[in-house]
């Protein structure tokens, strides 16, 4: 009887070990995407909108993995809303027209665009963050939080 009890306990422990290994492999198989996933060129990036009266400022922060001949924002779409829910695009900024949206180096931290809006309205921006050099480049889109 003691041998059967030991075999049962040993079998139960073995089953628990195998099940725990299977669950560890299953959980490692899926890695959810990160909103600020990096690349061979982008280390980290973010943007924010601030509103003071009727002045709307979009600030951009980009860290490159490499020394980049261009780092910063390629495109900024600015959206406005009267109720905080239904937004309309009110401005588009491109680095070809606004050269202050890009610089060279490892880091970009600046407020390259300012928009004259309407006090009391909601604003957010979609920013195309970029880093690149002669070997190539990469970008990621970043949506800011809504500012009021």
| CA separation for the pair 55, 111 (Å, rounded) | 12
Distance from first CA to last CA of the chain, Å, rounded?
75
- Give the DSSP letter of residue 139: E
Q: Are 93 and 113 in contact (CB under 8 A)?
A: yes
Average per-residue pLDDT for the chain: 86
Residue 42: strand pairing partners:
64
Q: Are 129 and 58 in contact (CB under 8 A)?
A: no
**What is the model's pLDDT at position 33?**
41
The string of pLDDT tens digits covering residues 8-48 is: 666 655 555 555 554 444 444 433 344 456 689 999 999 99
* Residue 1 banded pLDDT, cuts 50, 70, 90: low
Quick: pLDDT tens for 74-94.
Answer: 999 999 999 999 999 999 999
Check residue 119 and give its pLDDT.
97
CATH of domain 42-143: 2.60.40
Q: Give residue limits of the domains in the chain.
A: 1-31, 42-143
Host H or E run for residue 127: strand 122-133
């Amino acid at each position: 009887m003691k041998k059967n009890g030991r075999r049962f306990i040993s079998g139960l422990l073995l089953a628990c070990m195998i099940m725990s290994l299977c669950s560890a492999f299953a959980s490692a198989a899926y890695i959810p995407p990160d909103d600020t996933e990096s690349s061979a060129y982008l280390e980290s990036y973010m943007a924010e909108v601030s509103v003071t009266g009727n002045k709307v400022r979009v600030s951009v922060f980009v860290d490159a993995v490499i020394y980049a001949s261009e780092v910063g924002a390629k495109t900024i779409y600015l959206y406005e809303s009267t109720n905080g829910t239904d937004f309309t695009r009110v401005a588009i900024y491109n680095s070809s027209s606004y050269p202050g949206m890009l610089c060279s180096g490892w880091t970009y931290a600046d407020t390259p665009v300012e928009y004259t809006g309407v006090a009391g309205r909601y604003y957010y921006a979609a920013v195309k963050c970029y880093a690149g050099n002669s070997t190539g480049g990469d970008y990621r889109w970043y949506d800011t939080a809504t500012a009021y």
